[in-house]
Chains A and B, each alone.
Chain A
Amino acid sequence: MARRATAATVMEWTARIVLAGVFLYAGGVKALDPAGFATAIDHYRILPYPAAAACADYLPWLELICGLGVFWRRIRPGAVAVLFGLDLVFSAAIASAWVRGLDISCGCFGADEAGRFPLVLSLARSVSLALLCAWLLWREKRRQPWPHEIPGR
């Protein structure tokens, strides 16, 4: 039983490190070049250009802050929830670009390879990260009641 709990904890920490690593890297790359990221968002043809520019200024910082938040216990569930929401939005955007036959790059990590096949790989990565977030949220929720509700703590 104790070994199972240890294995689950190791898996949980591995998942957190992977999730945070991906978002810290992606956020860092895009925070260095918001103009390039605005162009990448614009290529999806979902938002008007000024909205794409505003997202390019904002989203990298949200990714960075939530990527760091994954390691801070006090705000971890909120950080993972935001990353889950971001992954769902990114997945929907990539899927819509793929369905519309757009020959664009994902824009997830700055300059990616353009084309239909790389777009499918990006979609698979985004959906996998969303599933990872969902699993982490479920693990967090299982820890109920919260520490302050446990008698004697």
Chain B
Amino acid sequence: MTLGSAMNAQADYFSRVIRQAGGLVLLALVPAVFTAGFHPRRPAWSQDEIRVPEVTWSAAQRWRGWVLPVDARSSAAFASQHLPGALPLNEAQWEEQLPAVINAWRPGARVLVYCASQGCETSQSVARRLQREMGIGDVFVLKGGWSAWLDAQPQRR
């Protein structure tokens, strides 16, 4: 094979790969359109539709009635420290941890979900899933999470 024909073969190879990749990328659009239109678990187009309301710790302290804190951090973080009365519930161990939350919850109770800090979003996921799967309406996310709660505690001397 001459150098010229080898280079042609290489160019042919790359253009084939790009054509194949382009075809696959376009092909995936077909089921994606059906997913966006008809999938029973299709995502909402606006985040406002799915965002669970956030509440600060000082506002949550003024709540009256039963409040169930739910810790959405990892099980190791929960085992280390957690809010008084909190139960662990993270998405990785959802099936194992959910029954305890169901048992602890009672009608009319507010659920306050928290994760590590303002930078985490797992509390939003867990809160949404509780609303969706358990049909619990009064679910809130603690603004600033565990670190905000720690900051709000009186300094130990």
Contacts and interface: CB of A to CB of B under 8 A. Distances in A.
A105 B24 contact: no
B92 A78 contact: no
Interface in A3-44: 31-40, 42-43
A49 B20 CA distance: 30
Q: Chain A CB within 10 Å — which of B13, B115, B128 has the most?
A: B13
Interface string B1-27: 100011001101100111111111101
B43 A53 contact: yes
Interface in A49-79: 49-50, 52-54, 56-58, 60-62, 65-66, 69, 75, 77-79
Given A105-B92, A114-B120, A57 B42 contact: yes
B92 A113 contact: yes
Interface residues of B, number: 52
Contacts, number: 146
| Main SS class of interface, A | helix
B73 A58 contact: no
B47 A42 contact: yes
A93 interface: no
Contacts of B90: 113-114
Contacts of B74: 113-115
Given A78-B20, A79-B20, A146-B9, A49 B92 contact: no
Contacts of B23: 75, 78
